[in-house]
Amino acid sequence: MADIFKFKQFDINQSGCAMKVNTDGVLLGALAHAPEPQNILDIGTGTGVIALMLAQRFINADINAVEIDEAAAKTANENFKVSKFANRLALFASGFEEYFNANTEKRYDLIVSNPPFFLNSLASPGAKKTLAKHTEEIFFEKFIQDVSKHLTDDGLCAMILPLPTANFVKVLLAELGLYLKTIVSIKSFAESIPHREIITFGRLQAMVDETDVVIYDEPRVYSAGYQLALKEFLTIF
């Protein structure tokens, strides 16, 4: 039996996908922003949910989605093909390095990613933890360098990250001569410590706009802000 997650304007078949529709993905899809983007890239699209949300939000944008996992790429492509946004969506079954190497001249107004690389948070001891941290740092340095080369002059990249990773990426941006544009701190409750950040950066210097999104007013009661962010997408609102 197919595992279908129904949104208001499209469906996501997530059968066989390791990364199911989740809060991180839908928040990034709802909150990632650039002024009137014409060309958007979703790196690590998984089921395709973020790309489809962006297609719904930005009606004049063409969206490319990259996915290295073969099964997920196949699923995302099917989700794209059966959606009403199919003519503006294209799936590329590859890693981001391979994709960028094959599309050296391509530039995007908005690049988004919900990367599954949370290696610093692994509860592993000693040398294994050190190796994981080093691997994560190498990945993000390469990722951000490549992304920055494929942004338009005023293009933006938005990523949702756990706090330790977000803090490392902020330092990395400064070292690479890139600039934070917005930081959205995601909290479970108003009094909670943020557990995720959506950070948006680009080449142009700007004042950093910082906001919070609180998911719950109380257990199992969604906040007004969360509902407002997702009411165009989730059928429960």
The average confidence (pLDDT) of the chain is 92
Strands (E), 59-195: 62-66, 89-92, 108-113, 151-162, 179-187
Position 1 confidence tier, pLDDT thresholds 50, 70, 90: low
How does pLDDT run across 83-101, given as a tens digit for each residue? Answer: 999 999 999 999 999 999 9
Residue whose C-alpha is closest to residue 25's, from 49, 55, 7, 54: 49
The reply to whether 95 falls in a domain is: yes
Per-residue model confidence (pLDDT) at position 127: 57
Tell me how many domains the chain contains: 1
Task: Convert the pLDDT of each residue in 105-162 to its tens digit.
Answer: 999 999 999 986 554 444 445 555 555 566 678 889 999 999 999 999 999 999 999 9
Q: Is the predicted pLDDT of residue 81 greater than 70, yes or no?
A: yes
Q: What is the pTM of this model?
A: 0.93
pLDDT at 66 over 50: yes
Q: What kind and span of H or E run contains 198?
A: strand 196-202
Does residue 28 fall inside a structural domain? yes
Q: For residues 234 and 49, give the distance between their C-alpha atoms in angstroms, rounded to a whole number.
A: 12
Q: Confirm whether 100 is domain-assigned.
A: yes
- Is 236 part of any domain? no
Q: What is the DSSP letter of 5?
A: E
